[in-house]
Structure 1
Amino acid sequence: MDINSDAHTQHISQQFNAELEEVRNSLLAMGGSVEKQVSDAIRALIDADSELGKQVRKNDDQINAMELSIDEECARILARRQPAASDLRLVIACSKMSTDLERIGDEAAKIAGHAIELTEEGEAPKGYIETRHIGARVRRMVQESLTAFARFDTEMALRVAQEDKSVDLEYQSAMRELVTFMMEDPRSITRVLNIMWVLRSLERIGDHARNIAEHVIYLVKGTDVRHIGLKRMKEEVMEK
């Protein structure tokens, strides 16, 4: 009886581990799709490729469906398994990360929409250099936040959070330049406003990448670092 009981417990444990691995893999798959959405949206803008922009907007439905699926997986695990400790943190983190990834997808779709408008208007406005640079930085932040999750790497997650501060400063500087440019050339207002909205979406993508990085630290360390500032976050990460 004891042997059968142990075997049954082991079987349940193996099933549970498989479910946790499945939800983790689902999140990483969603992350890969979202990362491509961001990359394609920026490329649609820079290359004036309205067809690629339309494809990004169309693919947003798939991202939304992936979020719903992950939410269902997480809810099912919570209801059936009632996980504790690190397993519970993994399920909670996956649920929250899927929300951030879905919002990154939304911002990519917005960028694609502005890319289509700017392509139809023809002339490339001021701000493309800043867009390319900030776009490359936030795309890398998304990629590294997901890598940090895949590896349970809190130091990489910390670097993503630190990078967000730097991106915010660059975003503010670019916005000031574009406001000045519009004041000097009122004919450019419509086109430059489109670029400003793109930059706003890129800044928000950076914010969501930071959120994912903070969830990684919570998952590994068991400490909620969302509102404690970078200095204390670093202390939490470096504490053994």
Structure 2
Amino acid sequence: MLRQDDHKQHISERFNTELEGIKNQLLEMGGKVEKQLNAAVAALVARDTGEAEEIINRDHEVNQMEMRIDDECSTIIARRQPTASDLRLVMTVIKVNTDVERIGDEAAKIARQGIRLAEENVSPTNYIEIRRIGSHVATMLRKSLDAFARLDMELAVEVVQEDTEVDREYGSAMRSLVTFMMEDPRDIGAILNEMWALRSLERIGDHASNIAEHVIYLVRGQDVRHQRSIEEFMDKVSDQ
């Protein structure tokens, strides 16, 4: 099993610095995206179009960070030809980098839906489902990034398990919104925009779960993306 200090035992101090550097850059990017997600949900609920525009305009910063991290990972692979746990770290950073950038994209989409919703009448739902699921996936994202920072497999497993609950919440929310549309067709436009925002939140939950699965791969060297259940994987681990 990989430990936090396993990437620090190299003859080349420069190699150590490079590995720590890409990891820290990714965590910085994750922190920025986490803030944008929380701000996007808050802007939507508050009907704050100014803040929503700022979130959309800042999305390019995340895109630039993603490209820089990818470039540095490619350089490390070409120059250092890492093996074993070092290679797993670099590959994990590349994969997590993609998921974090996509979460940033979804946060920008939520901000765009917030602008559209601000043009509508007051929501008949009071954005209850968006606030609830938004809080849940934000917690998942924070936990997945913490799991990566600490190489905490148990926390990563917890995030993967939570994604199933988010999927249930999303299904329930969509049924509730359909009911609102049937009761008053005048609300269809606003409800559709809320549905798109909820879809983005559900995707963010998927990406947070992906990050957690990458952490499990980093720690255990096992790909759990197509396990029938995370519980089955944990049973196997406990038997070893």
TM-score bin (small chain): over 0.9
The 8 Å contact of residues 154 and 220 in structure 1, kept in 2 or not, is answered as: yes
Give deviations 1:150-200, integer Å, cap 9, x for gaps.
Answer: 000000000000010001001000101111211121111000000000110
The 8 Å contact of residues 45 and 116 in structure 1, kept in 2 or not, is answered as: yes
1: CA distance between counterparts of 2:109 and 2:10? 46
2: CA distance between counterparts of 1:15 and 1:239? 39
Instruction: State the match for 2:231 in structure 1.
Output: 231
1:21 is paired with a residue whose SS is helix
Q: Shift in Å at residue 232 of structure 1?
A: 2.4
Pairing of 1:19-38 with structure 2 (within 5 A): 19-38=18-37
2: CA distance between counterparts of 1:207 and 1:64? 19
Q: Shift in Å at residue 64 of structure 1?
A: 0.5
2: CA distance between counterparts of 1:237 and 1:17? 29
Give deviations 1:117-150, integer Å, cap 9, x for gaps.
Answer: 1112242242611110100000000000000000
2: CA distance between counterparts of 1:191 and 1:110? 15
1:121 is paired with a residue whose SS is coil
Q: Shift in Å at residue 109 of structure 1?
A: 0.3
Query: What TM-score, normalized to structure 1?
Result: 0.93
Shift of the 161–183 alpha-carbon distance from structure 1 to 2, 3 Å rule, reads same
Instruction: State the match for 1:221 in structure 2.
Output: 220
Larger CA deviation: 209-218 vs 117-126: 117-126
1: CA distance between counterparts of 2:69 and 2:42? 28
Instruction: State the match for 1:44 in structure 2.
Output: 43
Shift of the 90–47 alpha-carbon distance from structure 1 to 2, 3 Å rule, reads same
Pairing of 1:91-110 with structure 2 (within 5 A): 91-110=90-109
Q: Shift in Å at residue 235 of structure 1?
A: 2.8
Letter in 2 for 1:235: D
- Structure 1, unmatched stretches of 5+, are 1-9
What is the identity percentage for the equivalent residue pairs of Structure 1 and Structure 2?
A: 58
The 8 Å contact of residues 10 and 16 in structure 2, kept in 1 or not, is answered as: no
Q: Shift in Å at residue 11 of structure 1?
A: 8.4
Q: Shift in Å at residue 230 of structure 1?
A: 1.8
The 8 Å contact of residues 159 and 208 in structure 2, kept in 1 or not, is answered as: yes
Residues 1:168 and 2:167 aligned together: yes
Query: What TM-score, normalized to structure 2?
Result: 0.93
Shift of the 68–237 alpha-carbon distance from structure 1 to 2, 3 Å rule, reads farther
1:44 is paired with a residue whose SS is helix
